[in-house]
Structure formats: structure tokens, C-alpha cells
A and B are shown apart, each in its own frame.
Chain A
Amino acid sequence: AQTVTQSQPEMSVQEAETVTLSCTYDTSESDYYLFWYKQPPSRQMILVIRQEAYKQQNATENRFSVNFQKAAKSFSLKISDSQLGDAAMYFCAYRSASRAGSYQLTFGKGTKLSVIP
């Protein structure tokens, strides 16, 4: 079974600064996807960024980028130029690419990010 570990229950960052959220995972599979989801107080889970395991290049989406280290099974999220709207719970998630028909997500416990004005 796959496990996802987020070791930082809470983090804070000054507005306009950069913050990095950590995530490690354990799997015996070679083909999978990794995600960061954001859940603000409005409750909806919003996809922030995704990474395909077969791609060596780190994914980037505007101010969000990841540091994907496949051998180390590490998948950290960097948020640059933090904004007040970035305050939310962030979940790291794993999804197998090999189980056709049932691509459910395995989530980490989450990191609550606060942004200080």
C-alpha cells in the first residue's frame, strides 16, 4: 500500500515571501502521479499542481513549483511571492497509474499554511 507523509502540520509565511511544503511518499510502483491540492475554508479541494513520475522535469504553475526527487520519494511544493489567498490546508496526494478504472487518491495529513500580512 502507498503512504504519503507530510511532516509539517502548520506553517506560516510573510506575504510576498517564499515557502516550501514537504511531502514524502512510499510506493513500490514505478508509474504514478503526485498532486498538491489546496483546501481553503470554502472547503473545495482545488488542484494546485501535478507531476507525472515518468517526467524528470519539475512541474511549474505560475507561482507554484515542485521539487520532485523520485529516488528519494520526495515531492515538495514551493510557493513564491505568497499571497493572502494562498492561506489554506495543503494536501499532498498520490495516485497510481497502473490500476485501470479506480484511480483513487491517497492523501497526506495536510499542512495548514497561514500567510501573514
Chain B
Amino acid sequence: DTEVTQTPKHLVMGMTNKKSLKCEQHMGHRAMYWYKQKAKKPPELMFVYSYEKLSINESVPSRFSPECPNSSLLNLHLHALQPEDSALYLCASSHADRGTTEAFFGQGTRLTVV
């Protein structure tokens, strides 16, 4: 199983809503990532979890709150978002040591903030 599964695939939310994005993998990867991607742009790193601990936060606003409840799951909790937060949110996973190098990506959640 080389899949990273993200749910939901599409999400429309109001600026006062609270919602969560979910990411799941069963490859035994201990590093998981959230990226934000605007149209026609490369993915931008938001957060990195390594062995279930937050290791990198790329100065992301607090209205985005990541959570890694176990080694297979990664959540991104959303609250009081702005229209400019509308984007494709990609989850990825990889091994956290030197052994294997490639990152596997999910299909993303297309988020629209209205």
C-alpha cells in the first residue's frame, strides 16, 4: 500500500466555520507533512511532523492547527479562515531517517473559503 489518503477531496467553508482536514497513510512512515498550493504555483511547506512531534512550523497563522494523533494520521484543524486561504492542501509522508528518500503525496483537499 503506497497510498496517502486525504479527506475530504473538496471543502467549502465560511469564515466563521471550524473544519478539519484528514490525512492517513499505512506505509510505516514517521514523517508527515502539510503543504499549501495555490493555482499554478509550487507547494509551500506548512508543517512537518517527525515521530508524531511537530518539528517544523513555517510561520503558519494560528488559524491553522495541525495535529498528529498517531503515526498513521495527520489532521489540519481550520478556524476563522480568510478567503486568501483558499488553496489545494496536500499531505505527504516519508521515512524520517536516511533509509528511504521519496515522499508520497495524497490527492489533496481543494479548500474554498467564502
Contact = CB atoms under 8 A, between A and B. Distances in A.
A100 B96 contact: yes
Contacts of A42: 107
B41 A102 contact: no
Contacts of B61: none
B101 A33 contact: yes
B97 A100 contact: yes
Interface residues of A, number: 26
Contact of A35 (B45, B48, B102): B102
Contacts of A112: 40
Contacts of A33: 101
Contacts of A91: 42-43
Contact of A44 (B41, B51, B102, B107): B107
A43 B51 CA distance: 27
Interface stretch (A20-28, A68-76, A77-85, A103-111): A103-111
A37 B104 CA distance: 10
B101 A95 contact: yes
Contacts of B96: 100-103
Nearest to B51: A101
A52 interface: yes
A42 to B, nearest CB: 7
Contacts of B94: 103
A97 interface: yes
Nearest to B4: A44
A47 interface: yes
A116 B110 CA distance: 29
B103 interface: yes
Interface of B: 31, 33, 40-43, 45, 48, 50-51, 55-56, 88, 90, 92, 94-98, 101-108, 110
Given A44-B108, A47-B103, A105-B103, 17 more contacts: A35-B102, A43-B107, A44-B105, A50-B102, A91-B43, A95-B103, A97-B98, A101-B51, A101-B97, A102-B31, A102-B48, A102-B50, A103-B95, A103-B101, A103-B103, A108-B42, A112-B40
26 contacts: A35-B102, A43-B108, A43-B110, A45-B90, A45-B92, A46-B105, A47-B102, A47-B103, A50-B101, A95-B101, A97-B101, A101-B51, A101-B97, A102-B31, A102-B48, A102-B50, A102-B56, A102-B96, A104-B45, A104-B48, A104-B56, A105-B43, A105-B92, A108-B42, A110-B42, A112-B40
